[in-house]
């Protein structure tokens, strides 16, 4: 079976040397939704001569296996009786009658494996009997043939109706007949609920899932409520990305890039006059907030057009299939649903030191701040910290970043350090290996003046500094600890608040699912949440079985020198494959548009990581430079398709663009060769 623990509970386990790769009986229990694997009945291929397992021989083992197969969770007494009487037809018919989904299978058949994967991807409970692994399997298969008049396996039955083998099962699934058979008397069950689906969280993932479910004819409720920040900041429908994340961040990043373009303009012949160019913070925030407001309105309209019910209310589980909502006026309501989707996202973390919540801001406050931040201390080294520090410095502000340890934890550290070096060269100051211990207000105002006390992480040294604004960007916490999950038994990581799920985004409570930033061990990215939400709904309601692919997800950090990445970091590649099995190709490059103003020569950087043991397949892609996100998006598709270094080398580049550097990477890190570029 391979890794039995990954499949669920192992009833009895054979010694390692006696195990085989297939699982003879696996049952997804209807009451607990766990997959049970009885591995003791798969000691050796059917008919093989092998002894030595707990002193039993093949015959007694298979007899015991047959008995266990029909007794799991109290099932199969009638089947066992029929087997004992050697009434094979009755045994087959009893299995069909007692199981909504019955699969007769063979462990050596790839189509049997595929049909089981189909049901698993649909989150459908089934019972499977591996006829090649049990005593009397040959007789049972003959009886099955007399019933279906088809000799091949798998043989799939849904609610006592014979569907067919793999091809016909897939065809029925695609045509919708599959779901109709499975739902059976479900309409009566659904009538007892207020909604088919309640989505908790009106961010990108939650909205995508809710609209998809409504399009598929489901009755959907979306709950969205923004708990104000300590400074009172709140916002509209759409979640973090639209209101206080990707959208305003990218617009302010673009503002800083325009400032640099203005500085470069005279070198290209533009005459800007003698008056100094000034930036208006209030004009910027007004424009950004107006755009965000239009998006908020668009989401409301879209929900209404798709007949999704929306409530601006806080949702909290109070019992099985039941949730209580509370709006901003304190009015409470109770709703029930067949299924729930948690898409509550995350909020910025505070330091829990004196003065942090009273005087500091976070990214939740920054983009609508009614006054220019002035001299700013950014606490943290996350991508949020460096992005905000970068565009604030680009607007001409005095910016300092206080770093506890390393920059951009979780990202490629080679790239992270190059980002830090570039920011320092462009005026951002860094205080490394210090953490704030107290924030005091010296003078109130907009902005006021704050005194920051910090202590070194490696000794007891104390430093102090004065700033107009302190921006905390030390990480984010999942919004899961105050929505009543403990009342319905949903497990969470107590340290992070993250929710562990299976590969179908299902929590340990079968009717509750989760997507987006609340998931444990998954990328915290808007497009990931959107895709996961849509695919989940299609699996639940449209007969689809495609799952979200969390591997090779592209991402971009919008620092002044943009960083795009897809796949493994260099550190993770070495950890996964070993240094001797990977090859790193790299080079600096100089964007043509930067040559005339003669700035930032050999600061942009390209790197790919290849797996030497797999045809030099590219497993990591990294680029520092202008429009890094645009470059990375295209390469991400190629990496997903398994592009190799040879294929990349044979690709004709577009000249003169930054991305063409990837078609001519020839120097490896291992060689120590020169990677500084000169000329075009």
Q: Dihedral through CA 621, CA 623, CA 629, CA 631, nearest 10?
A: -80
Residue pair 648/639 in contact by the 8 Å Cβ criterion: no
Work out whether the CA dihedral 133, 134, 138, 143 comes out positive or negative.
negative
Cα R_g (the chain), whole angstroms: 30
Long-range contacts of the stretch 98-101 (C-beta < 8 A, 24+): 99/126, 99/127, 99/157, 100/125, 100/126, 100/158, 100/159, 100/182, 100/184, 101/125, 101/126, 101/127, 101/156, 101/157, 101/158, 101/182
Residue 136 annotated among the catalytic residues of the structure: no
Sheet containing 563-567: give its strands across.
555-557, 563-567, 617-624, 604-611, 582-589
- Segment (H or E) for 573: helix 570-577
Whether a cis peptide bond, with omega within 30° of 0, leads into 656 is yes
Q: Among all chains, which residue has been given the structure tokens 């100051």?
A: 429
Neighbours of 268 (CB within 10 A): 10
Beta strand 469-472 pairing with 361-362: parallel
Cβ-proximal residues to 550 (8 Å cutoff; 6+ apart), any chain? 522, 523, 528
**How buried is residue 475: exposed, middle or buried, by Cβ count under 10 Å (0-12/13-18/19+)?**
middle
| Residue 372 structure tokens | 């220019």
DSSP 8-state code for residue 276: P
Which of the residues are catalytic?
655
């Amino acid at each position: 079976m391979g890794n039995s623990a990954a499949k669920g509970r192992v009833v009895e386990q054979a010694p390692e040397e006696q195990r085989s790769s297939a699982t003879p009986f696996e049952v997804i229990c209807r009451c607990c939704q766990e997959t049970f694997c009885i591995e003791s009945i798969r000691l050796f291929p059917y008919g093989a001569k092998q002894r030595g397992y707990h002193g039993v021989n093949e015959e007694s083992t298979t007899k015991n296996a047959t008995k266990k197969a029909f007794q799991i969770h109290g099932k199969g007494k009638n089947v066992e009786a029929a087997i004992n009487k050697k009434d094979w037809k009755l045994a087959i018919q009893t299995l069909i009658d007692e199981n909504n989904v019955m699969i007769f299978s063979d462990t050596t058949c790839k189509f049997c494996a595929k049909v089981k994967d189909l049901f698993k991807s649909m989150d459908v409970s089934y019972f499977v009997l591996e006829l090649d692994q049990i005593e009397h399997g040959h007789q049972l298969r003959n009886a099955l043939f007399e019933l279906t008049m088809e000799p091949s396996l798998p043989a799939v039955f849904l609610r006592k109706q014979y569907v067919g083998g793999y091809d016909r099962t897939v065809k029925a699934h695609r045509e919708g007949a599959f779901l109709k058979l499975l739902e059976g008397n479900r309409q009566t069950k659904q009538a007892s609920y207020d909604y088919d689906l309640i989505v908790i969280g009106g961010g990108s993932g939650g909205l995508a899932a809710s609209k998809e479910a409504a399009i598929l004819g489901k009755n959907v409720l979306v709950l969205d409520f923004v708990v104000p920040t300590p400074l009172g900041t709140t916002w509209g429908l759409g979640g973090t990305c639209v209101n206080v994340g990707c959208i305003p961040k990218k617009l302010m990043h673009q503002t800083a890039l325009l400032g640099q373009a203005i500085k470069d303009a005279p070198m290209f012949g533009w005459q800007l006059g003698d008056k100094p160019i000034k930036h208006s913070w209030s004009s910027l925030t007004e424009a950004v907030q107006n755009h965000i407001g239009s998006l908020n309105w668009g989401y409301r309209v879209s929900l209404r057009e798709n007949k999704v019910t929306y409530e601006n209310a806080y949702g909290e589980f109070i019992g099985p299939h039941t949730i209580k909502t509370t709006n901003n006026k304190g009015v409470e309501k109770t709703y029930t649903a067949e299924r729930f989707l948690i898409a509550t996202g995350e909020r910025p973390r505070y330091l829990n030191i004196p003065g942090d919540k009273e005087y500091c801001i976070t990214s939740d406050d920054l983009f609508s701040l009614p006054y220019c931040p002035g001299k700013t201390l950014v606490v943290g080294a996350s991508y949020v910290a460096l992005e905000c520090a970068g565009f604030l410095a680009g607007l001409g502000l005095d910016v300092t970043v206080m770093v506890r340890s390393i920059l951009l934890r979780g990202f490629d550290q080679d790239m992270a350090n190059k980002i830090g070096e570039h920011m320092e060269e462009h005026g951002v100051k860094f205080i490394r290996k210090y953490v704030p211990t107290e924030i005091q207000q010296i003078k109130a105002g907009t902005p006021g003046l704050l005194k920051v006390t910090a202590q070194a992480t490696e000794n007891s040294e104390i430093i102090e500094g004065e700033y107009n604004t302190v921006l905390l960007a030390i990480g984010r916490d999942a919004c899961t600890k105050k929505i009543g999950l403990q009342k319905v038994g949903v497990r969470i990581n107590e340290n992070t608040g993250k929710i562990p799920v299976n590969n179908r985004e299902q929590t340990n409570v079968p009717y509750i699912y989760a997507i987006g930033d609340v998931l444990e061990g998954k990328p915290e990215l808007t497009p990931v949440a959107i895709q996961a939400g849509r695919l989940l709904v299609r699996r639940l309601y449209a007969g689809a079985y495609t799952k979200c692919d969390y591997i090779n997800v592209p991402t971009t950090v919008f620092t002044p020198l943009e960083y795009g990445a897809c796949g493994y970091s260099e550190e993770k590649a070495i950890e996964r494959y070993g240094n001797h099995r990977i090859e790193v190709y790299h080079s600096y490059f100089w964007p043509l548009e930067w040559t005339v103003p003669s700035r930032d020569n050999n600061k942009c950087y390209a790197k790919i990581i290849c797996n030497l043991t797999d045809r030099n397949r590219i497993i990591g892609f990294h680029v520092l430079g202008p429009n890094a996100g645009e470059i990375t998006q295209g390469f991400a598709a190629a990496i997903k398709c398994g592009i190799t270094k040879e294929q990349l080398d044979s690709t004709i580049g577009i000249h003169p663009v930054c991305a063409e550097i990837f078609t001519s990477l020839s120097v490896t890190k291992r060689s120590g060769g020169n990677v500084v570029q000169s000329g075009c």
